Amino acid sequence: MELLAKLSFPPIGELVDWKKFGPLGFNKTALIDVVAVLITLTVFFVAARKKALVPRGAQNLAESILEFITDGIILQTMGPDGMQFLPFLTTLFCFIFVGNIFEIIPIIQFPANARMANPLVLALIVWVMFLFMGFKRQGFFGYLKSTLFPPGVPKALYILVTPIEFLSTFLVRPFSLAVRLFANMLAGHLLLVTFALLTDALLFHNTVTFLKPVAVLPAAMDVAITGFEVLVALLQAFIFSILAAVYLGGAMHPEH
């Protein structure tokens, strides 16, 4: 009971709301965003300056990322016509991944995308882009027709299908895209904090000596989850990017 009394978990708001510093409410989450942008720009800037026949270092990393985005996302979802979005999808993937990976960086230990504002802004950018591409490629009424009245559906069912398609395409898509990234990164962050606090409580706030070795269990879990969160950071960047490509591809190539 004494141990439980000393085990104090900070509220969720404290875990995800960094104290503001500087003008315009700038905080550490915004700082992570800026650093993520700078890291992404630096990698590709250095890679572009050192063009070698056999790529090494930054050039090898940049080319691997471009190849992954091209083969694993664009060609799989949009076809060759989607190569025009290679810069956008590459930037999106890198920015999300770097923002996520700060979750396991010592001292910072916080993923920028565990704040809803980040995923929401990114989702809104994707939403605006696929609507723009749909209206540009198919025309305003053509895009609405292909989206709200999908071919092959019996006309009698349009009374049910059309409202569902409207909500799904124009409202649910950006919301689900943002929530998926936010929820996964926040969940991982909370797990890491929980096991770190358990380890700290058992080691440093526990007066029962024979319970101290038990701290190895939450510590081991924290290490395991840290490794797992590296995969989650990469996977969530991939999922967000490939869904963005799917939405853009669907707007560009209507079903017939």
pLDDT of residue 239: 95
Band (12; pLDDT cuts 50, 70, 90): low
Average pLDDT, the chain: 84
Phi, psi of 107 (to 5 degrees): 75, -55
Residue 194 is which amino acid?
A: T
Helices (H) and strands (E) in the chain, counts: 11, 0
Say how far apart CA 23 and CA 42 lie, in whole Å: 26
Q: Quote the distance between the C-alpha of residue 182 and its chain's center.
A: 7
Q: Are 18 and 29 in contact (CB under 8 A)?
A: yes
Domain count, the chain: 1
pLDDT of residue 88: 95
| Residue 194 CB burial class (10 angstroms; 0-12, 13-18, ≥19) | middle
Band (149; pLDDT cuts 50, 70, 90): confident
Q: Are 241 and 69 in contact (CB under 8 A)?
A: yes
Residue 201 sits in which domain range?
A: 2-252
Band (125; pLDDT cuts 50, 70, 90): very high
pLDDT of residue 256: 47
- Can you give the pTM of this predicted structure? 0.85
pLDDT of residue 206: 60
Phi, psi of 223 (to 5 degrees): -65, -45
Q: Has residue 126 got a pLDDT over 50?
A: yes
Pair of tokens at residue 22: 């500087």
pLDDT, tens digit, 9 for 90 and up, residues 169-193: 888 888 999 999 999 999 888 888 8
Sign of CA dihedral 138, 140, 143, 149: negative
Question: Which percentage of the chain shows pLDDT scores above 70?
Answer: 84
